[in-house]
């Protein structure tokens, strides 16, 4: 199995690891295949994601995709974060082995899950905005 330089970099030196106290949105998602569990914390100000942190218990690709996902949404609007696809995460990492693509889906869904929590905390039904959170299973 071959990993790109970027995957190895984000795995050995992950960005934005940790928790945000009083986060505006917290999402947690897991998958049965690798046993990965990803927790995503967002700080949101006026519709802008001002901070994003994560805690991932899982395989190297899950750590790298969480790290890249937080980098891609930081400073972006909620709308942009909702458009973040797992393919965008994979491309930003210069690719992932096919058997690890589900880890990128996990990162995409962790972001959506945190945004869903954000809307719930605002008293807004997240379903029409965020859609259903899918647990990747292969």
Residues that bind Zn ion (CB under 5 A): 34, 36, 59, 62, 103
Shortest Å distance, C-beta 58 to Zn ion: 5
Closer residue to Zn ion, CB minimum distance, 72 or 103: 103
Active site residue 59: no
Closer residue to Zn ion, CB minimum distance, 11 or 118: 11
Q: Which residues contact 93 (CB under 8 A, 6 or more apart)?
A: 4, 6, 7, 10, 64, 65, 68, 104
Spatial separation of the C-alpha atoms in residues 28 and 109, rounded to whole Å: 9
Closer residue to Zn ion, CB minimum distance, 65 or 118: 65
**Given the residues 20, 42, 61, 103, the one annotated as active site:** 103
Helix (H) or strand (E) holding 92: helix 86-92
């Amino acid at each position: 199995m071959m990993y790109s330089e970027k995957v190895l970099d984000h795995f050995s030196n992950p960005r934005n690891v940790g928790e945000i106290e009083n986060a505006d949105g917290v999402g947690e998602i897991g998958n049965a295949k690798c046993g990965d569990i990803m927790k995503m914390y967002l700080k949101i100000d006026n519709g802008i994601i001002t901070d994003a942190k994560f805690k991932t218990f899982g395989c190297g690709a899950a750590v790298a995709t969480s790290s890249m996902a937080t980098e891609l949404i930081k400073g972006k609007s909620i709308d942009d974060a909702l458009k973040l696809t797992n393919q965008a995460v994979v491309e930003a990492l210069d690719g992932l082995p096919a058997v690890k693509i589900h880890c990128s889906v996990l990162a995409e869904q962790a972001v959506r899950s945190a945004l869903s929590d954000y809307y719930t905390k605002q008293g807004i039904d997240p379903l029409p905005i965020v859609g259903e959170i899918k647990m990747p299973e292969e």
